[in-house]
Amino acid sequence: MRRYFARKLLIYALTFVVAVTVNWMIPRFMPGDPVSAMVARARVSQPEAAEAMRSYYNNLFGFDEPLWQQYLHFWGALVRGDFGISIFVFPTPVGDVLLDALPYTLGLMIPAVLLSWFVGNWIGALSARRKVLDNTVLPAGYLLTAMPYMWIAVILAWALGAKAGWFPISGGYSLDIQPGWSAAFVLDALHHWVLPFLSLFLVALGGWAIGMRNMIIYELESDYASYLSALGAPQRLIRRYAFRNAVLPQVTGLALQLGVLVAGALVTEIVFAYPGLGSLILAAIQNQDFFLLQGAFLFIVIGVLIANFLIDIVYVVVDPRTRTGMAGGTS
């Protein structure tokens, strides 16, 4: 087990280094003169913002310094938690801007991902090898999982928001309410949360249901299932064993799908103008705010790494083989 975690942590550390390096390299090795091009493209109105941008870029690229020194400085700033100053909301530090948006993204993603995973696995397990249910779950699952996240979000906003008028279609809370921990605000925020949550939940649900259905069928075909049924074990028991085995690849699948889920959350937020990282990224792109964009990139990478590690811990709990150091786990 120690070896399993050591290996995982090595991969994550390496991934983080690669991500930071990519983040450093792309602006550095871009063709042309990046600094003046970016300052010109940003078209900032305040002269002090333009100056701060120019000096920070010059500092970042540091044309007078050797490359390795620039690279070390980049790491140094990162370790101090300095992601630069946002142009879009000048002069707030990028770190603060991102931290303000983070609760909205997490509040949307964590329930949507976990609930879709549990409900999807449950539906998939129920429908495997049951003709009637399977014939409805399978097509519905494929339809949902093929939908682009932003499209289902637009459709839901149009049908349940604009047409039916049940839910607001824009923002994370009403503008006339002061954000805080009052009951009125929490209810209002929940009301705004429903549609973005639902669109994330539905698309992810389809994928999990199909995955679980296929895994259960695979398990029910295996020798131990045939043996159990030859012994006369009740169907319920066999299905329970199949389920426990089939859950393992689904846990790994959750880790593999994290990138897709994050992407889905970002575009869903944009549809609903939900005040999370997605809307910030859109604003950063529209305002050519590269510090904000690069900071958001690092936030996403760090978040995905943490989530991966949590899933690894869960995997050790659910798969006894990793604990005895035999096998299991996909390194």
Q: Shortest distance, CB of residue 237 to another protein, whole angstroms?
A: 22
Q: Shortest distance, CB of residue 219 to another protein, whole angstroms?
A: 11
Per-residue binding letters, 265-304, with another protein (x by CB under 8 A): -xx--xx---------xx--xx---x--xx-xx--xx--x
Q: DSSP per residue over 194-222, as a string?
A: HHHHHHHHHHHHHHHHHHHHHHHHHHHTS
User: Residue 259 interacts with another protein (CB under 8 A)?
Assistant: yes
User: Residue 305 interacts with another protein (CB under 8 A)?
Assistant: yes
User: Residue 23 interacts with another protein (CB under 8 A)?
Assistant: yes
User: Residue 94 interacts with another protein (CB under 8 A)?
Assistant: no
> Rounded to an integer, what distance in angstroms lies between the CA atom of residue 64 and that of residue 71?
13
> Rounded to an integer, what distance in angstroms lies between the CA atom of residue 91 and that of residue 100?
15
On whether the CB atoms of residues 12 and 308 are closer than 8 A, the answer is yes
Comparing CB distances to another protein, the nearer of 179 and 319 is: 319
Burial of 91 (C-beta count, 10 Å sphere; 0-12/13-18/19+): exposed
User: Residue 221 interacts with another protein (CB under 8 A)?
Assistant: yes
> Rounded to an integer, what distance in angstroms lies between the CA atom of residue 328 and that of residue 3?
12
Among the listed ranges 11-19, 67-75, 227-235, 317-325, the one in contact with another protein (CB under 8 A) is 11-19
User: Residue 185 interacts with another protein (CB under 8 A)?
Assistant: no
The size of the interface with another protein (CB under 8 A), counted in residues, is 71
DSSP tally for the chain: helices H, then strands E: 13, 0
Give 93's strand partners. 85
Among the listed ranges 48-56, 150-158, 172-180, 226-234, the one in contact with another protein (CB under 8 A) is 150-158
Comparing CB distances to another protein, the nearer of 49 and 283 is: 283
Comparing CB distances to another protein, the nearer of 178 and 331 is: 331
